[in-house]
A and B are shown apart, each in its own frame.
Chain A
Amino acid sequence: MGAQSQQVVMRLLADAALRPAALQLIPLAAADGRLADLFAQPAMAELAACFPCVIAADDGARLPPATADAAQAVGCRILAAGAILAVKAPLVAPLPAGVSYLAGDAFLQLSARSAASKTGSRTLALRLAQLVAADAETREIEEVFRLEPTLSYHLLRLVNSPGVGVGRQITSFAQAILILGRNQLRRWLNLLLFAARKDDPRAPMLMARATVRARSLELLAREAGYDREGQEKAFMAGMFSLLGMMFGMPLAEVLQPLRLDPALLAALLRREGELGDLMAAVEACEQGDVAQLQTRLATLVPAPIDLDLLRLGAFRWMLDLVRENQEPAHG
């Protein structure tokens, strides 16, 4: 079994308004000549053309000159020193001079009682209400749910609740939407819009991270030869994995009303089973833990995977989807 290929860690940076603002590429210490290959990929160029891709000053300084040139040629910017601020505690505005981007988890930790975090994005709920009013295709509605962990969580919880749902195990968001029906969906969204008065300022970053993780897992499941249903399940696992953090509650408690597939639950809570291995692999990839990545994927994927490309694809997918759903509804 060949080694999985990962050259960089990719992480999202926020701007002062806490919105996703750039993709930071952090070359791994072990990165070799193949790093230059990454910068030669068309996917890299395409992403850099539509979203800022940046390299921190010290990382940039360590790159061989040819690689640094390749990075800049493809559209990645090497930042000035101090342009990225790693946030350790809740933030005080304004940002210190010279800081363009924020990194880190600290400012994403929510107080357990933030109501906005629990009702989900009002913007996307509104977008959904528009889609439902325009009698959009199920597929379009599903895409919005795939962007928003809180809304999709509530959707699944709803179709599992007595009196509304059907007591069937749900395997896809499309299935949940179809079970609920358009009328109930519309009413539910209206109520939700009433309850959620404003968007949580931290939501865009959390959402972006959850959906990129979900998409990465879906793509990885695809590489591992899972069928559509298995890929969908992997997506769901990624999507729901940050809910504990988002709700400020233990994940097990959050997931309890969903009656998830046992394999999905084992993966989410204990990283057990094949799906658990895939999740752990994606997390390892987020951290740049190549050893863990190799272990978890050892028996799951038949051939080495270029994880950098896979992650690029996931980021690109998230950005496209966000853009699509921020535009005013057509019609």
Chain B
Amino acid sequence: MADALLKRCLDLCRELRAAGGATGGAALEELESTLATLLARATAALPLQTRIIEQLREPIITMDLAGYVTGWNPAAEELLGYSAAEAIGQHILFLYAEEPDENGGPPDEMPELFLDNGSSFFEVRRRKKSGEVFWAGMSLSTIIGDDGEPLGLVSHLTEITHRRATEEQLRLQARVIDKSEQGILITDADEKIVFVNAAFTQITGYTAEEALGKTPDLLRSGVHSSDFRAEVRAAMTGAGPWQGEIVGKRKNGELFPQSVSISVVRNEAGEVTHAFSVFSDISVLRATEERMRQLANYDTLTGLPNRTQLNQLVGQALASARRNETHGALLVIDLFRFTSINDALGSEVGDALLREVGGRLRCALRNEDVLARVGGDEFVVALLDIRKREHSAFVAQKLLRVLGEPFLIAGHKLYVGAAIGISVYPGDGLETADLLRFADVAMKRVQKSGDTGYLFYSPEMDRRARENLRLEGELRTALVNGDLQLHYQPKVSLRSGRIVGSEALLRWRHPMEGMIGPAVFVPIAEETGLIFDIGEWVLDEACRQLRAWLDAGIAARPVAVNISARQFDAHLPARIQAALDRHRIEARLLRLEITESLLVRVPELVIPIMNELVAMGLALALDDFGTGYSSLAYLKKFPISTLKIDRAFVIGIPGDDNDCAIARAIVTMSQQLRQETVAEGVETEAQMRFLQALGCDQLQGYLFSPPVAADVFAAMLRTDRRLDCALPEKLAGD
């Protein structure tokens, strides 16, 4: 109808133009009146509805079918705090509040799933502009057009604060009861069990199904006298609250001491309707107490374990080391000058000094390390679980450092050095006595030299530890002095031969020894924690270099940096974002390479971090795929977009059947997961052809280029250097 009138208006305009003066007047008049009709209809139809909605006290929100807000009345503004101008055009999801808790309860909006008939009412959590979250009653309906097609959605919100608050409280209470670490058991007036919580099941071994309907005799151990049982029974029937210890019996028949408190619930008539017992298993506590008694042999002067206890602890650790192939070390520490101090200043000063020494040593160690005092001025440190035996050298050095500081005792400034001898297991042996003796021998050697210091019992061990220590110190300096560099190894497409990106590889320009490769120093950096700082530097440097290339007008390709497991924590995404922002780099230009060892860590912790990184736009590559234990099913869980075939397999291609099979499996697997594959360490044309035929996507290796300095890499990009990977002419039937 409106269309017809508008068309008529256009016709009239055309007539007017054609007619000029003569008939113009009449047409003009008609045009005017037609437009007036249209206007009247327009104000009468649409805005009337709009006006009604505007004036409704109830918050009304209209949306298009995709959920974008098209209308927002003043009541909605009043309730939610957003003005119409702020809200219109936004997706309605901006109002949804986060779940109160992610694990508990069915999702609140679930009923929406089952709405099929046009309109419905349900309760949802919504968020106001102020951030306040409230419960809203919401009715949602579809607006249907003349042709029967839905045009949009209309939602009508009401705030329901009170009801939800009570429900919330009930829910909270139920949750507290269920999640309590103490066992809870409720019986009815007939002494039948009507409720048990999760802790009950955990302690007794009986599930709720097994316990419900039974009496508490289920847990009867038979060790208590009948008087005692009568006392408990009386409490359950309302004689008054009772607290005490009862020995119960678990489902598996085991007896356990429990600390129990019993109370009753009465109805309005004062009759007992329910009794509830709250109990905790104190067998664990008991066990600890007994062990404490057993181990009471502490050194009275320092409060440290004595030799007996040391033997016991080390003995246990060695037993488990035999099973689990763990490493450890014993450090025997002998103080210098102690005897002369003791003689000259008296035993009180001597004792105070020993206490101080004990305190300082303890502070320098990790909680799990054992420190014992085994003789006059002799201490023993047992490092019972270390990743590498050389690590004990770092500890020895740290201990010497803290002992090197002067001690202030009774107005005396005392200097004591120490000799430390180290034996390691399993290398030097797996018997406590042997290890202590070897450490002692090493310690005596230090003493003989007259200097403060440490020595390993095994000379080979000693040499390695010292080399590591030296490198660590120099590496620290290198990081500060800017002696670290990134080199870039191109990744080229096996299809086009073009450079598609690069991996940034760390190089250390050592002032004396020239270039040192990462294989030499990265393990040390990992060991000492320095890898964290180095990793941060690498991220920043890669971003800086990308910015420099972009500024120089070079079409930059993504740079992949290696992320150590040490760096992979919850703050990694923020640190990377900061580096990207600092150099104004798009996330897609940075790739992260991670190792398989990361995947076997707690996936519940690792996956959310990975997801966050991918959401930022970063792509993740798995560096050494195939060397660990990851299966396809396992790999699927992680948002990884690239698999790298380790050089260890590439070496054997195409001669070694095993390596070829592994490479083939990796490529097939990655295709299923829509991942790309990059073969590392490709050196020969034969390897390239084989990988190409497998369908591998990219290669990295000396065949195309070794890792090169940034300017050399830039030159390759500028000249569009390509890998000659075109198949030899005959291709059919291959």
Contacts and interface: CB of A to CB of B under 8 A. Distances in A.
B111 to A, nearest CB: 9
A228 B109 contact: no
B726 interface: yes
B629 interface: no
Nearest to B722: A302
Contacts of B460: none
Best-buried of B113, B147, B153 by chain A (most CB within 10 Å): B113
A113 to B, nearest CB: 7
B496 interface: yes
A119 B64 CA distance: 10
Given A162-B90, A190-B112, A195 B150 contact: yes
A109 interface: no
Interface residues of A, number: 53
A93 interface: no
Interface string B110-143: 1011011000000000000000000000001010
A168 B142 CA distance: 32
Nearest to A185: B93
Given A227-B558, A229-B619, A119 B90 contact: no
Nearest to B732: A37
Nearest to A166: B615
B500 interface: yes
A119 B501 CA distance: 39
Contacts of B96: 183-184, 187
B341 interface: no
A291 interface: no
Contacts of B611: 138, 178
A247 to B, nearest CB: 11
Given A179-B615, A190-B109, A227 B493 contact: yes
A295 interface: no
A280 B265 CA distance: 79
A195 B113 contact: no
B391 interface: no
B675 A192 contact: no
B94 A193 contact: no
Nearest to B86: A163
A194 B122 CA distance: 13
Main secondary structure of the interface of A (DSSP, over half): helix
Nearest to A228: B676
Interface residues of B, number: 64
Contacts of B673: 139
Contacts of A158: 91, 93
Nearest to B673: A139
A223 B98 CA distance: 44
A161 B91 contact: yes
Contacts of A196: 65
B588 A228 contact: no
Interface stretch (B174-182, B229-237, B238-246, B637-645): B637-645
Contacts of A114: 149
Contacts of B485: none
B67 A178 contact: no
Contacts of A129: 113
Given A115-B151, A228-B675, A229-B588, A175 B617 contact: yes
B498 interface: yes
B726 to A, nearest CB: 5
A287 interface: no
Contacts of A225: 493-498, 500
A26 interface: no
A186 interface: yes
B483 interface: no
B699 to A, nearest CB: 12
Contact of B496 (A169, A170, A302): A302
Contact of A178 (B493, B498, B614): B614
Contacts of A197: 116, 142, 150
Given A158-B91, A222-B495, A115 B617 contact: no
Contact of A188 (B67, B98, B616): B67
Interface string B94-106: 1010110010000
A195 B67 contact: yes
Contact of B67 (A113, A139, A192): A192
Contact of A115 (B149, B500, B588): B149
Nearest to A189: B113
Given A137-B636, A171-B617, A304 B731 contact: yes
A224 B498 CA distance: 9
B725 interface: yes
A195 B494 CA distance: 47
A224 B149 contact: no
Given A187-B109, A225-B496, A227-B501, A171 B588 contact: yes
Interface string A97-141: 000000000000000011110110000000001000000011100
A301 B153 CA distance: 49
A83 to B, nearest CB: 33
Interface string B484-500: 00000000011111101
A188 B93 contact: yes
Contacts of B107: 183, 186
A193 B726 CA distance: 50
B579 to A, nearest CB: 16
A174 interface: yes
Interface in A178-224: 178-179, 183-184, 186-188, 190-197, 222-224
A169 to B, nearest CB: 7
Contacts of B642: 228
A157 interface: yes
Contacts of A303: 495, 726-727, 731
Given A115-B65, A184-B96, A163 B676 contact: no
B378 to A, nearest CB: 58
B407 interface: no
Contacts of A81: none
User: Could you say which of B145, B586, B619 has the most chain A C-beta atoms within 10 Å of its C-beta?
Assistant: B619
Given A161-B68, A187-B96, A188-B93, A175 B614 contact: yes
Given A195-B66, A303-B726, A178 B615 contact: yes
Contacts of A119: 65-66
Nearest to A305: B495
B697 interface: yes
B120 to A, nearest CB: 8
A163 B641 CA distance: 29
Interface in A136-162: 137-139, 154, 157-158, 161-162
A303 B91 CA distance: 47
A164 interface: yes
A223 B727 CA distance: 13
A232 to B, nearest CB: 9
B698 interface: yes
Nearest to A158: B91
Contact of B153 (A186, A194, A304): A194
Most buried by B among A170, A188, A190, A191: A191
A228 B641 contact: yes
Contacts of A193: 112-113, 115
Given A37-B732, A174-B614, A302 B726 contact: yes
Nearest to B610: A178
B637 A137 contact: yes
B522 interface: no
Interface in B65-102: 65-68, 89-94, 96, 98-99, 102
B666 interface: no
B610 to A, nearest CB: 9
Given A227-B697, A301-B495, 9 more contacts: A161-B89, A168-B617, A169-B617, A170-B617, A178-B612, A183-B98, A192-B67, A225-B494, A228-B676
27 contacts: A158-B93, A161-B68, A163-B91, A163-B93, A168-B587, A171-B588, A171-B617, A174-B639, A175-B615, A178-B615, A178-B639, A183-B107, A186-B107, A186-B109, A187-B93, A192-B67, A195-B66, A222-B495, A224-B496, A225-B495, A228-B619, A228-B676, A228-B697, A302-B496, A303-B495, A303-B731, A304-B731
